[in-house]
Structure 1
Amino acid sequence: MISTSEVLTGTAVDLFYGATPAVKAADISLNRGEVSAITGQSGSGKSSLLYCLAGVLPVSRGEVRFEGRVLGELDDEELSALRRERFGFVFQYGELLPELTVEENTALPLRLAGQRKAPALAAAGEVLERLGLSDLRKRRPSQVSGGQSQRVAVARALVHKPAVVFADEPTGSLDSANAAAVLEEFLALARSQGTAVLLVTHDDQVAARADSRYIMCDGKIAAHIREVS
């Protein structure tokens, strides 16, 4: 029986790069408004599993379901629409578009989904204000600091109120003070929207902020720890 709060599941997920297994028989589930972390040593399969769950990498065996739909049964157009409209992404270095302003970068998911410019920028402005970035709206990525750039990446990932945000080492490029601040704002906003967050991290302090932790070793989920509130 599927939990009513469950939004995405991976069941017996295998991923091979040629003959080399990267993920082996992984079971994982994400709940609305909760934060899950994948931890483990470098090369343990953390990022590979995240990209399978996000529909970026096709699984070799097993299945990934989002709101009951099997990702492997979707065609390229359906999968692209799903990633664009229902998922959000935060990467280690932000990956902002240098030619766009901060507010234009933030509004990008809404614009790609067909929303008109004025309401998209208005929505972007609201999220930027919540993250303390209103004064930077007209600046370009080259004119903001690393911590500010990563906050903009968080705003862009959450502006369209996605069901799931996938974050691959979202604070890995920041110093400890900026990392703590960005993570606090990111997770608070995601939880307030009911967005599930799956983050890959090597940092135990980051993983400690999650509701649930999956520990990977040699491509397998070696342990699943759920925090008790």
Structure 2
Amino acid sequence: MNAILRAEGVDLLYGTHQAVNGADFTLRRGEVAAVMGSSGSGKSSLLYCLAGVLAPTRGTVSFDRATLSSLTDDELSTLRRERFGFVFQYGELLPELTVEENAALPLRLAGQRKAPAHAAAGEVLGRLGMTELLQRRTSQLSGGQSQRVAVARALVHRPDVVFADEPTGALDSTNAAAVLEEFLKLARDQGTAVVIVTHDATVAEYADSRYTMTDGNLK
């Protein structure tokens, strides 16, 4: 399969601290890749470089043959909104919205009308076992339920790549395994590639390829 995302010689400096040191990374279409490392190893910094959130100090990141540094801020925003998805450790849901509204948000931001956006969100949430909770507020959800909503939001617009930063780090082991399995099955079914950064070797076992990051060095 062809590479959809590639990093070559990526450095990222915060002042004099080198968070990422000469990282090379390749992600193929539909592939699940895990980047393992302890807290402070630089794995989240690398993730945000790959997603175009942070600009590398040196080196290049390219997505679908376009170099991210050549894109304008508006083009990067469109890319992240329409072709990328994100799952964070604590979900980062909007408390004023319902489950259905949270999951439909990427489609609504892209200009889709309410009815089809909510229908698409309901379909994805149904696959994650959330059909009975569409009108709940996020304050009424358990941790596992909240993370399922975050997964639905990341996948509802069928992005090319989802970036997941410790997606099960706030869950107990039982919920973590269930959410991760549902997340990756849904991603694979729709051909979405996934980059997961994690400190947990159990999570990395679900990936097709595995990298390890230590003191900014990726291997």
Q: Could you say whether these structures have the same fold, taking a TM-score greater than 0.5 normalized by the shorter chain as the test?
A: yes
SS at match of 2:18: strand
Q: TM-score, normalised by structure 2?
A: 0.99
Question: Mind listing any 5+ residue stretches in structure 2 that lack a counterpart?
Answer: none
Which position in structure 2 is the counterpart of 1:92?
89
Instruction: Work out which of the residue numbers 183, 186, 199 in structure 2 matches 1:186.
Output: 183
Instruction: Work out which of the residue numbers 12, 16, 21 in structure 1 matches 2:13.
Output: 16
SS at match of 2:30: coil
Mean Cα displacement is larger for which, 37-46 or 152-161? Answer: 37-46
Which position in structure 2 is the counterpart of 1:120?
117
What is the distance in 2 between the residues matched to 1:132 and 1:6?
32
Deviations 1:83-109 (A, max 9, x none): 000000000000100000000000000
Instruction: Work out which of the residue numbers 38, 44, 67 in structure 1 matches 2:35.
Output: 38
Instruction: Work out which of the residue numbers 132, 135, 140 in structure 2 matches 1:135.
Output: 132
Instruction: Work out which of the residue numbers 161, 165, 171 in structure 1 matches 2:162.
Output: 165
Which position in structure 2 is the counterpart of 1:150?
147
Q: Which amino acid aligns with 1:33?
A: G
Structure 1 segment 41-56 matched on structure 2, within 5 A: 41-56=38-53
Question: Mind listing any 5+ residue stretches in structure 1 that lack a counterpart?
Answer: 224-229
Could you tell me how far 1:5 is from its partner in structure 2? 2.5
RMSD: 0.7
Identity across the alignment (%): 72
What is the distance in 2 between the residues matched to 1:23 and 1:140?
38
Q: Which amino acid aligns with 2:117?
A: A
SS at match of 1:56: coil
Deviations 1:62-102 (A, max 9, x none): 00000000000111000000000000000000010000000
Q: How many residues align?
A: 219
What is the distance in 2 between the residues matched to 1:113 and 1:149?
23
Q: TM-score, normalised by structure 1?
A: 0.94
SS at match of 2:33: strand
Which position in structure 1 is the counterpart of 2:203?
206
1:195 partnered with 2:192: yes
SS at match of 1:49: helix
Could you tell me how far 1:44 is from its partner in structure 2? 1.0
What is the distance in 2 between the residues matched to 1:10 and 1:139?
40
